[in-house]
Structure 1
Amino acid sequence: MLIRPFQTGDEAALYRVHYSAIHQVAVRDYTAEQINAWAPPDADPTLWAERMHAMQPFVAEIDGQIAGYADVQPSGHIVHFFVSGDFPRQGVGRALMERIHAKAQQLGLTALTSDVSRTAQPFFAHFGFHIVEERFPVRLGVTIPNALMRKAL
């Protein structure tokens, strides 16, 4: 497995990871309406590309295929953390979390935070995050519950 910085040209593959993670994995914790609002099949590729360029995530590759991605911002906030539904339980999440922690140490951060889906909460808890508050964001008119999680470093 290779963990590398985001590169121009990764955008479409990262959306496929995002889409598969939600449609293949998070589907067990959310309704079809929530899943389709969270990861619509007709998402605007230009807006998505702008978001990825602004976020500058780490990208996980297995045998040349993008298997996941995650970011950590200078504030310590993790905006996205997704592993493809095609690469479950292959250490992608662990490798990305380790890279986030290394970057946090390099930046001198004292805490990490993220708005974490119901599906990912046990994974984040395994790495020492705890729930600060339940949240109920609305996307495309649909409420998609998650939780603000935090880890002191």
Structure 2
Amino acid sequence: MSINIRRAILADVPAMSRVLIDSITELCVTDHRDDEKALAAWTANKSEAGVAKTVANPDLRVFVAELDGEIAAVGAVDTSGKIGLNYVAPTARFRGVSKALLHRLEQELLALGFAEGNLEATETARRFYRSAGWLENGPRATSRTVNGYPMRKLLTASG
């Protein structure tokens, strides 16, 4: 098993879109509760056109994690110090891909000059982030279609 993490390019967009939509649809049921309206709102900008805009956005650093040469996870940080995306393909779950991608995103935040990272975790991902040293940072947010949990982490070069 080989995991490679690199910056996303426009040629990655179709695979990235599939990973994002499959991850949300199949792995985040606890969050969207199979509510078609919530699911549609959450995945609306995960189309190929939406993902292409994300990759082209100069305020984002977008990454893909490849597992044995196939895109298996998508992540992004923004220039305000926040992790905005961290999704894994259902077929790659529990194979170390998400953990490796999260470490790379944390290192990118450090490279951008941030000593602390921030993100909003889904209910599905809360335990994953806690196990990686992230701490809850306030009450559950209610501004999104799918409510999330603000989290933060003091960043170090070792992860």
TM class, shorter-length: 0.7 to 0.9
Q: 1:105 to 1:9 in 2, by over 3 A?
A: same
Kept in 2: contact 1:17–1:82 (CA 8 A): yes
Q: 1:44 offset after TM fit, Å?
A: 4.7
Aligned ranges 1:129-140 → 2 under 5 Å: 129-133=134-138, 134-138=140-144
Count of aligned residue pairs for this structure pair? 148
Find runs of 4+ consecutive structure 1 residues off by over 2 angstroms.
Answer: 34-37, 42-48, 104-108
Q: 1:12 to 1:137 in 2, by over 3 A?
A: farther
Q: 1:152 offset after TM fit, Å?
A: 2.1
Q: 1:21 aligns with which of 20, 23, 29?
A: 23
Separation in 1 of the partners of 2:51 and 2:143? 19
Describe the SS at the equivalent of 1:48.
helix
Q: 1:43 offset after TM fit, Å?
A: 5.8
Aligned ranges 1:3-152 → 2 under 5 Å: 3-33=5-35, 34-39=38-43, 44-54=47-57, 55-133=60-138, 134-138=140-144, 143-152=145-154
Greater mean alpha carbon deviation, residues 85-94 or residues 68-77: 68-77
Q: 1:90 offset after TM fit, Å?
A: 0.7
Q: 1:12 to 1:151 in 2, by over 3 A?
A: same
Kept in 2: contact 1:6–1:58 (CA 8 A): yes
Cα distance per residue 1:21-74 (max 9 Å; x no partner): 11111113431113333125x965323311232133111011221000111223
What fraction of aligned residue pairs are identical, expressed as a percent?
28
Separation in 2 of the partners of 1:3 and 1:50? 20
Separation in 1 of the partners of 2:46 and 2:93? 24
- Matched residue type, 2:42: W
Q: 1:27 to 1:50 in 2, by over 3 A?
A: same
- Matched residue type, 1:75: S
